[in-house]
Amino acid sequence: QSVLTQPPSVSGAPGQRVTISCTGSSSNIGAGFDVHWYQQLPGTAPKLLIYANTNRPSGVPDRFSGSKSGTSASLAITGLQAEDEADYYCQSYDSSLSGSRVFGGGTKLTVL
């Protein structure tokens, strides 16, 4: 059972927009801690996609965007491409776990 809750799977057709939610609580996202998002392509290490809620590292397409409100955060992907098919994880910090970093359970994105 992950501290942050994500839907197990989402899907969309090429060109469409999809969102992935990440729900936490008052000890993590709701406490004001930042949320980061990672993309994990099959058989590879995770890659930082969004940091500090809304920021894209250099090289990440602007098709990817992040937002945060209350105890939740979301990752939006517009103009879906086949290469976006991957697992996506949110990550934050939890004050009830001594400042531990916590991950969501991951969401498998399927491009139809």
Partner 1 sequence: QVQLQESGPGLVKPSETLSLTCTVSGGSISSYYWTWIRQPPGKGLEWIGYIYYTGSSIYYPSLKSRVTMSVDTSKKQFSLRLSSVTAADTAVYYCAREGYSDGQYYGMDVWGQGTTVTVSS
> Residues interacting with partner 1, by CB under 8 A?
2, 34, 36, 38, 40, 44-48, 50-52, 57, 87, 89, 91, 93, 97-106
Q: Choose between 74 and 91: whose C-beta lies nearer to partner 1.
A: 91
DSSP state of 1: -
Q: Choose between 15 and 97: whose C-beta lies nearer to partner 1.
A: 97
Q: How far apart are CA 110 and CA 14, in angstroms?
A: 10
Please report how close the Cβ of residue 2 comes to partner 1 at its closest, in angstroms.
7
Q: How far apart are CA 96 and CA 22, in angstroms?
A: 18
Please report how close the Cβ of residue 51 comes to partner 1 at its closest, in angstroms.
4
Which amino acid, 40? Answer: Q
- Nearest one of 24, 25, 21 to 9, comparing CA atoms: 21
Q: Choose between 14 and 61: whose C-beta lies nearer to partner 1.
A: 61
Q: Choose between 80 and 88: whose C-beta lies nearer to partner 1.
A: 88
Cβ burial 12-27 (10 Å sphere, 16+ → b, else e): beeeeebebbbbbeeb
Please report how close the Cβ of residue 22 comes to partner 1 at its closest, in angstroms.
12
